[in-house]
Amino acid sequence: MNFISDNTAGASAPVMAALSAANDGAASAYGTDAWTARIEGLFADLFEHEVAVSLVTTGTAANSLALACLTRPWGAVLTHQESHVADDECGAPEFFSDGAKLVGLPGAGNKIAPEAVTLALSRLREGALHQVQPQALSITQATECGLIYTPAQVRALKEAATPRGLKLHMDGARFANALVRLGCTPAEITWKAGVDVLSFGGTKNGAWAAEAVVFFEPSLAAEMKWRRKRGGHTLSKGRLIGAQFEGLLADGHWLALARHANAMASRLAEAVVANGAARLAWPCEANAVFLILDAAAQDRLKAAGARYLAWSDTALSDGAPLAPGEVIGRFVMSFATREADVEGLIAVLNATPR
């Protein structure tokens, strides 16, 4: 029962089949192959918009290179104080942008409110010699606490950032999980809501190692090919990333994988909360469940060999502190999560109803 991350799953069968097919024979190197050439058209169709697309193998590279294209070394990126780009990328966004500062904002469930953006901008005075100049706002979809921004919420954030001309970046490591929950189109939650650049995640949703930086304003990608090469993320065998996306996007496969992961998360959340075995730290909206576990539940999980992560409680809503001995456990479902494992986890947690 391994629920530590959706990174622990391998690749889906259609993605592996696409990789195998692309592996046969010779092809041009460094992204000049036929597979990579087709990707831009696939994403343009998917988002109903002209796009510039750059393929990389990691989410860290996707986020960091995207933000580097939006900022200057004296610039700043507003983001949640516990966002992935702030807490989990070892300073890569600052490194690839040659020093642009990350400015952390508060927010329950790791969601940023427009008011927080407005306040931060008021404190970073436009043109002030002694302060960094905000140039981008980065949000995570779904957030690190499993919550989802609606199109209206994304638009409100863009409106808050527009007076200072900030570009809006979306870290979409779990974009597919958010999309199937929302039931909207990819366009409605991205460029139509004001997103300028999207880090489109594939690795957590059935790919082996495939991420795409999607620029909805192609002029913003002017520096990307050099930044990607300089950063060591231009693969000589680039067809093997393009092939993964072809396998993933064909026939809505990426959405089917996300639906399964979300369904497994919903099953866990509903069954455990209904029995009173644990309570939710945040609503279950995507493929992760954050359960507040007492000591007895923690002991049962350890005895059963269940694996999960203990999560930060700093983004809990006001008035919902943890009791002594309680922790937040993060349980993440993937496209490969088996129903039997979820039912086994439910049985362990529900073994001693309150």
pLDDT, residue 318, reads 65
Counts for the chain of helices (H) and strands (E), in that order: 13, 11
CB contact burial 313-341 (16+ within 10 A = b; e otherwise): eebbeeeeeeeeebbbbbbbbbbbbeeeb
CATH level 2 (architecture), domain 254-349 = Alpha-Beta Complex (3.90)
pLDDT, residue 321, reads 79
pLDDT, residue 293, reads 95
pLDDT in tens, the chain (354 residues): 999 999 999 999 999 999 999 999 998 998 889 999 999 899 999 999 999 999 999 999 999 999 999 999 999 999 999 999 999 999 999 999 999 999 999 999 999 999 999 999 999 999 999 999 999 999 999 999 999 999 999 999 999 999 999 999 999 999 999 999 999 999 999 999 999 999 999 999 999 999 999 999 999 999 999 999 999 999 999 999 999 999 999 999 999 999 999 999 999 999 999 988 889 999 999 999 999 999 999 999 999 999 999 999 988 976 567 999 999 999 999 999 999 999 999 999 998 654
pLDDT, residue 241, reads 95
Domain map (residue ranges) of the chain = 11-252, 254-349
CA–CA gap between residue 176 and residue 191 (Å, rounded):
16
Q: Kindly give the pairing relationship between strand 211-215 and strand 52-56.
A: antiparallel
pLDDT, residue 31, reads 87
pLDDT, residue 276, reads 87
pLDDT, residue 11, reads 96
pLDDT, residue 320, reads 66
CA–CA gap between residue 326 and residue 156 (Å, rounded):
35
- Whether the CB-CB separation of 331 and 254 falls below 8 Å is answered with no
pLDDT, residue 30, reads 87
CA angle 53-55-59, nearest 5°?
Answer: 115
pLDDT, residue 319, reads 56
CATH number attached to the domain at 11-252? 3.40.640.10
- Whether the CB-CB separation of 4 and 197 falls below 8 Å is answered with no
Q: In what order do the strands lie in the sheet with 309-311?
A: 279-280, 288-293, 327-332, 309-311
Backbone φ and ψ of 206, nearest 5°: 105, -5
Q: Which of 188, 192, 214 is nearest to 69 (CA)?
A: 214
pLDDT, residue 162, reads 97
Residue partners of 95: CB distance under 8 A and separation at least 6:
64
Q: Which residue has the tokens 């058209």?
A: 41
- Whether the CB-CB separation of 297 and 87 falls below 8 Å is answered with no
